Amino acid sequence: MLEPTLVTWVLVVFGFTTCLPLFLAQLVILKDPQGQKAKEWLVGEGEEWRDRTHFRSAYGLAWADWIVFVPLLVVGSLGVILGEPWGYLLWAAAGAISLYINVALWFMEREYVYPSRGPARYFTYYWGFFVYWGLLAVGYSLVRLVGS
């Protein structure tokens, strides 16, 4: 058993605080993909999808997150809170997914999101927090698993 530490709780809260707004926006696009609310929440107030590929990638990533990432994050977080090694393994997988997709998004979205949101918001919520949480979740999980 790997008793949760203060770092465990900070990472659980940080992960859910970071991901919850995204997950809610993704539910909107999954419910009504072409709806105005989906565009406002995922693209921006008064903005349109740049093209069909932009829409399709947002829609596809929403499905992928809800099929793979959300269960790994939720069940992994429950596991780490319970102090179970499998929780850290699932958390490491969720962290790796978060890193992977957000490094790809760095190259795909930067030219659009960075200028409209500015550096502070871009390097925190719009991109950074997902990368930071992913790095910390993978690193912390490995430390906990190897040290057990």
- Structural domain spans, the chain: 6-147
pLDDT at residue 47, rounded to an integer: 78
Residue ranges in the chain whose pLDDT is less than 50: none
pLDDT at residue 108, rounded to an integer: 83
Chain centre distance of CA 90: 14
For the chain, list the strands marked E by DSSP. Answer: none
pLDDT at residue 7, rounded to an integer: 96
Inter-residue contact 137 to 92 (CB < 8 Å): yes
pLDDT at residue 148, rounded to an integer: 64
Other CB atoms within 10 A of residue 26 CB: 24
Q: 131: which 2 tokens?
A: 């990368």
pLDDT at residue 88, rounded to an integer: 97
pTM over 0.85: yes
Q: How far is it, in rounded angstroms, from Cα 23 to Cα 76?
A: 16
